[in-house]
Amino acid sequence: MENIISSLEENLKSLYRKAVDADIRINDLKKQGHGKFGHIFKQEDLFSIKANKFMPYLEETAAKILHLKESGDLTSHQDELETVVKQLHLLHKTLAEFKVVV
């Protein structure tokens, strides 16, 4: 279990700087009159929040990882673990695409 949690936390750490940089870029685009969108992800069931920056999505994922870590038993939280992995994957993918496009 510790290996899985460590891996999730490492993924989160690698996303943090990318999310900060992307949010700064979004702020710059908005100042220039661009970036007129309501939220990053379209009606994704993976996230309960809707935000126009990456950091709130990262924070939601971090909270779920912390909950898994504190639970001490991943077998009873398999669905939540799968959701976190999907969230991390979507964040990695979207941030990589954002970096290429912008």
Exposed, middle or buried by CB within 10 Å (0-12, 13-18, 19+), for 20?
middle
In this prediction, residue 38 carries a pLDDT of: 76
DSSP one-letter string for 40-66? SSSS-TT-S---SSSHHHHHHHHHHHH
Average pLDDT for runs of 10 along the chain of length 102: 91 96 93 81 83 95 95 88 96 93 76
Taking Cα atoms as reference points, which of 70, 59, 69, 58 lies closest to residue 94? 58
In this prediction, residue 90 carries a pLDDT of: 95
pTM for this model (two decimals): 0.89
> Which range marks the domain in which residue 46 is found?
2-101
Distances (CA, A) of 94 to 2, 3, 24, 35, 70: 27, 25, 16, 15, 28
How many domains does the chain divide into? 1
In this prediction, residue 42 carries a pLDDT of: 78
In this prediction, residue 84 carries a pLDDT of: 96
In this prediction, residue 43 carries a pLDDT of: 66
